[in-house]
Amino acid sequence: MRIYVPRDAAAKALGAEAVAAAVSAEAAARGLPVELVRNGSRGMVWLEPLLEVETPEGRIAFGPVTAADVAALFDTGFGAHPKALGLTAEIPFLKKQTRLTFARVGVIDPLSLSEYEAHGGLAGLRKALTLAPEAIVAEVTDSGLRGRGGAGFPTGIKWKTVLGAQAPQKYVVCNADEGDSGTFADRMLMEGDPFTLIEGMVIAGLAVGATRGYIYSRSEYPDANDVMGQAIAIGRAAGMLGPDVLGSGRAFELELRVGAGAYVCGEETALLNSLEGKRGIVRAKPPIPALQGLFGQPTVVNNVLSLAAVPAILAEGGAAYAAHGIGRSRGTIPLQIAGNVRFGGLFETGFGITLGEIVNDIAGGTASGRPVKAVQVGGPLGAYHPVSDFDLPFAYEEFAGRGGLVGHAGLVVHDDSVDMLKMARFALEFCAIESCGKCTPCRIGAVRGVEVVDRIAGGDAAAIPLLTDLCQTMKLGSLCALGGFTPYPVLSALTHFPDDFATLQEAAE
């Protein structure tokens, strides 16, 4: 009997370790030969810990399971039980998805390279090894892949720039410093299918002529860092990394580096400074990292999800990936649904699904049962969208057209009890705390912004134009997205939810 209990950090937080221990103890007590597999999470957090049992018909799911449920599950032969959910693949939340990047997450043992390969792994790398660098870049360009970390910059263009640069050493850097509130896709991928990220980075190295890579993770992700470190060692021992990648004579070496947890190090140039052992502050651009990046050499800097999408693109072809999505937003996007929702978790689908479909149909509305008031999309620097925006297709240009950001595709839902003035204050306070201090609009602007919001909260309506003017200064004058995007949540709260500010004005009058 093969039983799966996730080792994902979210599942662990909900009791997966106790469930796994109970399964092992119960099997031993009954003298049953059980193979316990610690897989990644399927992404249905409200069902964690999700226990699965392999059967001839497919995997059967039970959840959320507690250690106290395990004995009864064995008594029923993993059949009729109150926690039984049927075939895992038929659970509606999972069945509706288009899983390309996350196809193996929750399915395989994350640290089994043989299982990885049996489920399509290494096909993209093997194809890449038969192609010229220009052809690899062309496939990625044709796929329409854009930066999944938030910037949305076309990946193919970035790779082409690094490929064309002349230098004795080039680098591939993975930005795994996932610091946005309401986002967890990078962590889930690293914990549930680390070889996908490794394969994507090796392909990137082949494409641009880089022989060294670094994964820059965060200290708050101990589980992801543990799995990733083990996967790198396994990959190196198997010839996936090293001086002779899969016997091709091509070299690519990879290291995991863990940052100290500064939010600003999610910005690529601050990240590069941190990797070099310097203070994590933003660099002025130009020069761009593609020409002068890590240690002054041409560097590809991509997010986890961007690099993890590459193996599927090479294996199936750029056109197949581009067949998903709308407009200039091609492929799939792993949505991270959080906040006040009934069904929170990761949902991978093609671009184009509307915001209303995500919140009402997929997330099931609010957990509180109260009406939705606002949805913040794109992390703590993303805009707040009202219910009137529920017709908005989830795509880069479409969100930008309404003053929003797709960002890292994290969605945090709030019901009608939320105070949007407090949300605006939080955005500015967050920026003030996390600013690297390099530029004045961000360093000083965020602090003054908190003060101005407090004046408004005290009934000073005359301070609202000052807040708007301050946000414009931060938006246009900041060196990086931290200061430049902080105005999005502030101005969207002020624009779409004026009553939360007007009540205070009226009280003052």
User: What pLDDT does 502 receive?
Assistant: 75
Domain ends where: 368, 388, 415?
A: 415
Q: With contact defined as beta carbons under 8 Å apart, do 167 and 176 qualify?
A: no
User: What pLDDT does 509 receive?
Assistant: 47
Residue 106, domain member (yes or no): no
Per-residue pLDDT tens digits for 278-294: 999 999 889 999 999 99
Omega before residue 286 within 30° of 0, cis: yes
**Residue 63 scores a pLDDT above 90:** yes
Domain ends where: 287, 322, 357?
A: 322
User: What pLDDT does 181 receive?
Assistant: 86
Q: Could you give the number of structural domains in the chain?
A: 4
User: What pLDDT does 151 receive?
Assistant: 78
* CATH number assigned to the domain comprising residue 480: 1.20.1440.230
Residue 227, domain member (yes or no): yes
The reply to whether 123 and 247 lie within a common domain is yes
**Residue 503 scores a pLDDT above 70:** no
* CATH number assigned to the domain comprising residue 397: 3.10.20.600
| Percentage, residues of the chain above pLDDT 70 | 99
Per-residue pLDDT tens digits for 176-225: 999 888 999 999 999 999 999 999 999 999 999 999 999 999 999 999 99
Residue 104, domain member (yes or no): no
Q: What are residue 206's phi and psi, to 5 degrees?
A: -60, -35
The reply to whether 249 and 352 lie within a common domain is no
The reply to whether 370 and 488 lie within a common domain is no
Residue 63, domain member (yes or no): yes
The reply to whether 177 and 248 lie within a common domain is yes
Residue 264, domain member (yes or no): yes
Per-residue pLDDT tens digits for 72-105: 999 999 999 999 999 999 999 999 999 999 999 9
| Domain assignment of residue 370, given as a range | 326-415
Per-residue pLDDT tens digits for 5-54: 999 999 999 999 999 999 999 999 999 999 999 999 999 999 999 999 99
Q: Give DSSP secondary structure letters for 306-357.
A: HHHHHHHHHHH-HHHHHTSEETTEESEEEEEEEES-SS-EEEEEETT-BHHI
Domain ends where: 270, 299, 322?
A: 322
Per-residue pLDDT tens digits for 377-389: 998 889 999 999 9
The reply to whether 193 and 232 lie within a common domain is yes
pLDDT category at 243 given cuts 50, 70, 90 is: very high
- Rounded Cα distance between 81 and 73, Å, is 7
Residue 262, domain member (yes or no): yes
The reply to whether 71 and 133 lie within a common domain is no
- Rounded Cα distance between 411 and 415, Å, is 13
Q: Is the pTM of this model over 0.85?
A: yes
The reply to whether 249 and 196 lie within a common domain is yes
Q: Which helix (H) or strand (E) holds 132?
A: none
The reply to whether 343 and 359 lie within a common domain is yes
The reply to whether 476 and 371 lie within a common domain is no
The reply to whether 153 and 235 lie within a common domain is yes
Residue 105, domain member (yes or no): no
